[in-house]
Amino acid sequence: MKQFIGLDVSLKDTFVSVRKGGKRIWRGKCPSDPRLIAEVIRKRAPNAERVVFETGPLSVWFYHALTREGLPAICIDARHAKAALDMAPNKTDANDADGLSHLAEIGFYREVRVKSFDSMLVRTLVAARNQLLKMTTQLSNQIRGLMKTFGLVVPKGAGRVFEGHVCSLLANNAGLKQIIKPLLDAWRAMRARAAELSKQLVASARASEQCQLLASIPGVGAVTASSFVAAIEDPGNFRKSRSVGAWIGLTTRRYQSGEVDYDGHISRRGDNHLRGLLYEAATVILTRTRADSALRIWGLKLKERIGFKRAAVAVARKLAVIMHAMLRTGELFERSIAAEI
């Protein structure tokens, strides 16, 4: 008879629950190592039908490692599983594993598409670059605030202009210079490391035909194109291009109950970073792009009716649909027909 396994994964230990014929036949825990977990499953459940675990920081590693071990690994949406796991009277890791094995047995779950390591490598590159840029900005603001206490107001400017202003203001203040100079050296080093990651990202985008295809859209650069390709992976993952907007969280939520029926704000589900990049690209299309396109004209007309922010969200959603359609067909951006999709 087939067995169904639930895994409650944590950084140190993973609780394992095995069910067969509607009953739990074994429960235990082992270190959070997919190889060790695979050995336990082969010993306790040789006829494993499904191995279910929730989305989390280790889900990508666990999914690919368990799959290589020949196990039928399934990653499910943690939000969907929470509704079922909350039914347990006591919230414990062991009970969560029991609940996941029960979901695996009855098939009541929503499977999540797990990204490949190549896609995660691109996402990690983008995330590391963004973190360095954020830290650089925070450190420059910290330097400005410390110097302002002593009446040294750093003028506006970034990069070498900022560094030149700081050095000139500290020239006659040796005591403060000893404090600020290490911060300025750290700022300079982080800025150099961020530039290195930016070069890697641009080189990766230039080597990708899909990224070059998406870069034909005004307002879409290497970061947005690489992030979108890494998130979508295979255009065949979506039957309709219109589904991409909802998947990223750019469509409105609806609430209906009895006589109440209204549309709310956008759902904000999915990839927060990619959604922000698409919004930035939409903003560029509406405000900075000089070349007219059907998408820009449509967005500007919408801006006059509903305001800039809502129009930018609408353009971002349509931009996601267009980008998916371009990946599916392999065609360049057509300025005259883009808004018709």
pLDDT digits (tens, 9 = 90+) for 86-126: 888 888 999 999 999 999 999 888 899 999 999 999 999 99
Question: Model confidence over 228-248: pLDDT tens digits?
Answer: 999 999 999 999 999 999 999
- β-bridge mates for residue 254, sequence order: 263
Q: Of 58, 83, 106, which residue constitutes the final position of a domain? A: 106
> Which residues does the chain have with pLDDT short of 70?
335-341
Question: Which structure tokens are listed for 97?
Answer: 């594993």
Is residue 321 a part of any domain in this protein? Answer: yes
Is residue 112 a part of any domain in this protein? Answer: no
SS3 state of residue 52: strand
Q: Considering only CA atoms, which of 222, 163, 162 is closest in space to residue 198?
A: 222
The DSSP 8-state label assigned to residue 111 in this structure reads B
Q: Tell me, what's the pLDDT at 320?
A: 95
- The backbone torsions φ and ψ at residue 45, rounded to the nearest 5 degrees and listed phi first, read -140, 75
Q: Of 106, 132, 167, which residue constitutes the final position of a domain? A: 106
Is residue 246 a part of any domain in this protein? Answer: yes
Q: Tell me, what's the pLDDT at 266?
A: 87
Question: Domain limits at 177?
Answer: 117-207
Q: Tell me, what's the pLDDT at 238?
A: 92
Question: Which structure tokens are listed for 251?
Answer: 């469509």
**Cα dihedral sign, 235-237-241-245:** negative
pTM over 0.75? The answer is: yes
The DSSP 8-state label assigned to residue 236 in this structure reads G
Q: Tell me, what's the pLDDT at 147?
A: 94
297 and 235 in one domain? yes
